[in-house]
Chains A and B, each alone.
Chain A
Amino acid sequence: MSIVLKNITKHFGPDLVLDEVSDEIPSGSMTALLGPSGSGKSTLLRIIAGLESLDHGTVELHGRDVTSVEARHRQIGFCFQDYAPFNQMTVFDNVAYGLKVRRIGTAQRKKEVDELLGLVRLSDFGDRYPRQLSGGQRQRMALARALAIKPEVLLLDEPFAALDAQVSGELRVWVRSLQRELGITTILVTHNQSEAMEVADRIVILHEGRIEQVGPPDQVYDKPSSDFVHGFLGPLTTWRGVAYRPHDLQLCDVDAGPRARVVDVIRLGFEVRVVVESDQETTWVQLTHHEARQLNPVVGSWVSVRPR
């Protein structure tokens, strides 16, 4: 189920939020809309779901223009960042909601909900209420609820932002494998580049309502099309006026090239940050633990810096 967006433009009052955004999201892909807050990524997601109006432009699902179709007739699964659980219903009834709307009979409904609860590993939690679940469980419940209507498209708004680092990491892996398994066209919104890199097979970078770059994670990371993308996808540092990723620089003997003095060494487990100062600027070089042990940079000593 491909999604085609054409010239989508949206204002909130006088503010231009989306400016002629066009993209084609291939069937079965996992696409991340990546951008800083205020880039228009969540608004774009809501427009695809039909939860937000647009000024002009069109949304096509599998060749059908759905721009004027109401959200409830689009058959699109949507998960909010806060998971929006129906607090007064049990987990079972939450997941069954879409099936009830579709007048699926009780027996069939129970069968489908049980399958979904198994899929999201909540089989034993059907009788609980959302407030009795952990954040990760609530998020899986929201996924099951969205999947119940057998959507052709799944939209996730900042799905991991409200979880602690460990749960978020586990869920990323799980969501990615679930998406592969179901082959469902999925778009997720995130402001976190490592999350986008890890989960998506295609990244759309938004900045101030425009698409900056589209491509697979490797490509956008290695061949950023603009300074913005370069800076947004990872840390940057400058050496002799040129921007580098800190791990693309290395430290050598003082005679090997232009000199700099070590001013700080920060050990972060696997990686070691060495901050050096030359007459031009302060530069940050990232070494592996292993490299750092070999070079043994000492604060106050002189080294030289070279691009790798």
Chain B
Amino acid sequence: MHRPSLALRVAVLCYVGALVALPLGFVFQQALSHGVSAFVNALSNAEMDSALWLTVRVAVVAVPLNVVFGLGVSLWIVRHPSRFSRVFDTLIDIPLAVSPIIVGLSLELAYAQNGWLGRPFAAWGLQVMFSYWAIVLASVFVSLPLVSRQVIPMLRSVGTHQEQTAQTLGAGPVRIFFTVTLRSITWATAYGVTLTIARVIGEYGAVLIVSGNIGFRTETLTLNISNNFENFTPYQGFVGVSLLSLVSIFVLLVLGHARHRERLRHEYRT
């Protein structure tokens, strides 16, 4: 391929630097401005740890839910195409297309005590809004298509011949799914999972509306960061941001590895 000119490369580096590297560097600089021991101390701030723990608990439920849903939907859309599944294929992109504020508001309207989904729960004495489950709902909603968007093209390119061969060799549907289908979409799924984790951990808008933002109860890490800045404890906020950034960088590294593996597979397969 044509090698980009020096000027172009400098321009790209400056652009990315101004947008990503410098602001991020500034955050880490602020977080470490009182020294490493102060940073470590701030990491064990009770409210922030509670918020981090809540974020982890949400991710642990929301991510597997979306993996199961994403794999199921992908298989349905690719293997049993119908007019209905094609419409659905478009619909599952809605969470990415609409603003998280809209997601939050619609969930709140539907699941409020007098909303038409919230009422049956209220009859059982359960309040969905402003609880852990509201945050899970919002997180699942905003990351809905991330797994299937990765898996669908992979399923299409793999085709059905391997599965049908397994069938003629005597394998049943469950065995075929685990030994053939899933193994050929492992990396696409892993890619989707990392994207989902990143989105669930980083979600702010939808969660802000449905959680109620109650300290030590429904305050996630992103909410905690924002609260710290609003409550004039910016140092704690910077520590939270650097924690979140580290998670994101880790996710990026995993993504890069997945993509690299993917490329290797394709290079061999000629």
Chain A interfacial positions (CB closer than 8 Å to B): 49-51, 70-78, 80, 82, 84-89, 97-98, 101-102, 129, 131-132, 142, 145-146, 148-149
Contacts and interface: CB of A to CB of B under 8 A. Distances in A.
Interface stretch (B39-47, B69-77, B120-128, B157-165): B157-165
A231 to B, nearest CB: 32
Nearest to B176: A72
Interface stretch (B96-104, B167-175, B235-243): B167-175
B232 interface: no
Interface string B228-266: 000000000000000000000000000000000000010
Nearest to B175: A101
Interface string B145-186: 000000000000000011011111111100100011001101
B171 A72 contact: yes
A43 B162 CA distance: 17
B176 to A, nearest CB: 9
Interface in B161-215: 161-162, 164-172, 175, 179-180, 183-184, 186
25 contacts: A71-B164, A72-B167, A72-B171, A72-B172, A74-B168, A77-B168, A78-B168, A80-B165, A82-B161, A84-B162, A84-B164, A84-B165, A86-B166, A87-B162, A87-B184, A88-B184, A97-B171, A98-B169, A101-B169, A101-B170, A101-B171, A131-B265, A131-B269, A142-B165, A146-B169
Nearest to B266: A131
B170 A51 contact: no
Given A78-B165, A84-B165, A86-B180, A73 B170 contact: yes
B154 to A, nearest CB: 12
B268 interface: yes
Nearest to B264: A131
Given A71-B164, A87-B184, A97 B169 contact: yes
B166 A76 contact: no
B131 to A, nearest CB: 42
A98 B179 CA distance: 12
Interface of B: 161-162, 164-172, 175, 179-180, 183-184, 186, 265, 268-269
Contacts of A89: 183
B170 to A, nearest CB: 4
Ranked nearest first, the 6 interchain pairs of A and B with the lowest CB-CB distance are: A84-B161, A98-B169, A131-B268, A78-B168, A88-B183, A101-B170
Contact of A87 (B167, B169, B175, B269): B269
Given A84-B164, A86-B162, A132 B169 contact: no
Most A CB contacts (10 A, CB to CB) among B171, B183, B184 go to: B171
A19 B74 CA distance: 35
Contacts of A97: 166, 169, 171, 179
Nearest to B170: A101
Nearest to B182: A88
A86 B183 CA distance: 9
B184 A76 contact: no
B163 to A, nearest CB: 9
A242 B1 CA distance: 57
Nearest to A142: B165
A148 B166 CA distance: 12
Contacts of B179: 86, 97
A70 B168 CA distance: 9
B82 to A, nearest CB: 13
Contacts of B168: 49-51, 71-72, 74, 76-78, 146
A224 to B, nearest CB: 34
Contacts of A80: 161, 164-165
A72 B164 contact: no
A75 B169 CA distance: 7
A86 B180 CA distance: 7
Given A87-B269, A131-B268, A132-B268, A145 B169 contact: yes
Contact of B169 (A51, A70, A131, A149): A149
Nearest to B171: A101
Contacts of B186: 88
Contacts of A82: 161
Nearest to A46: B164
Contact of A98 (B164, B170, B180): B170
B207 to A, nearest CB: 38
Nearest to B161: A84
